[in-house]
């Protein structure tokens, strides 16, 4: 492994690279479970359906290099990927909007394995405020600033109705939140300096339905 202290983490890796790295992680994790010790970018390429040269380029952002004719050491690659992707640290997050999707996110223990620790949720519904889901307490949104500061959270997950999405984003940023994970289909605007990640799972449904319809028409 190249362990020189060149400031690789200061370069902004392109988002497509960052989105492909978890695919490689999933695959090398599987290889490790099966006792495989080395893997080449060509072998990964075959399995993942991405060009071998693209894979080598993507992995170079980790500062890790494969050995000629042997490839990458599987355990080292897995660990470097997990660490580079931030999955081996714990990031404190709060959830805004504990409706159907919000409750589902709190219940998904998978997020924890990927470094996301939801420390509390916020809502306005009196039937939810004061309760807890899987030991995660739900507070009234009025307590947002105090709770977030006390708990040291820097990420807010937005799972609110569209009509309050922008307002809640503004409130969160004003309270010191530095990153918003937006699950609403609304396009949040913030001042530069706030990280926004949009995960509109419903938009993916639209792509799937459309492709299905076109297939059905082509078959006729």
Q: Is 181 in the site for a second copy (CB under 8 A)?
A: yes
Q: Which residues pair with 75 in a beta bridge?
A: none
Task: State the binding string over 118-157 for a second copy (x if CB under 8 A, else -).
Answer: ------------------------------------xx--
Q: Interface with a second copy by CB under 8 A: which range of 69-77, 122-130, 135-143, 182-190?
A: 182-190
Q: Which residues pair with 92 in a beta bridge?
A: 117
33, 35, 126, 135: residue in contact with a second copy (rule CB under 8 A): 33
Q: Is 59 in the site for a second copy (CB under 8 A)?
A: no
In the complex with a second copy, the residue whose CB is nearer, 19 or 67, is 19
User: Helix 52-60 crosses helix 15-33 at what angle (to 10 degrees)?
Assistant: 100
In the complex with a second copy, the residue whose CB is nearer, 26 or 149, is 26
Q: Interface with a second copy by CB under 8 A: which range of 5-13, 68-76, 138-146, 168-176?
A: 5-13
Task: Please tell me the distance from the alpha carbon of residue 155 to that of residue 202, in angstroms, as a whole number.
Answer: 22
Q: Are strands 136-140 and 155-158 parallel, antiparallel or unpaired?
A: unpaired
Count the neighbouring beta carbons within 10 Å of the beta carbon of residue 126.
8
Task: Please measure the distance between the N-terminal and C-terminal CA atoms of the chain and give it in whole angstroms.
Answer: 55
């Amino acid at each position: 492994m190249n362990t020189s202290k060149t400031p690789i983490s200061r370069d902004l890796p392109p988002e497509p690279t960052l989105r492909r790295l978890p695919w490689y992680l999933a695959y090398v994790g599987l290889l490790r479970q099966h006792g495989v010790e080395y893997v080449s970018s060509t072998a990964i390429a075959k399995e993942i359906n991405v060009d071998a040269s693209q894979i080598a380029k993507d992995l170079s952002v980790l500062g890790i290099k494969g050995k000629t004719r042997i490839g990458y050491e599987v355990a080292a690659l897995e660990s470097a990927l997990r660490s580079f992707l931030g999955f081996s640290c714990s990031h404190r997050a709060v959830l805004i909007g504990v409706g159907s999707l919000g409750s589902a996110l709190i219940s998904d223990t998978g997020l924890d394995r990927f470094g996301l620790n939801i420390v509390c949720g916020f809502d306005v519904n009196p039937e939810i405020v004061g309760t807890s889901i899987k030991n995660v307490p739900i507070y009234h949104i009025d307590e947002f600033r105090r709770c977030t500061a006390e708990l040291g959270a820097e990420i807010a997950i937005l799972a609110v109705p569209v009509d309050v999405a922008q307002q809640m984003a503004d409130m969160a940023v004003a309270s010191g939140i530095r990153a918003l994970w937006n699950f609403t289909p609304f396009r949040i605007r913030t001042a530069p300096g706030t990280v926004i990640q949009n995960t509109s799972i419903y938009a993916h449904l639209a792509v799937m339905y459309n492709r299905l319809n076109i297939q059905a028409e082509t078959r006729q």
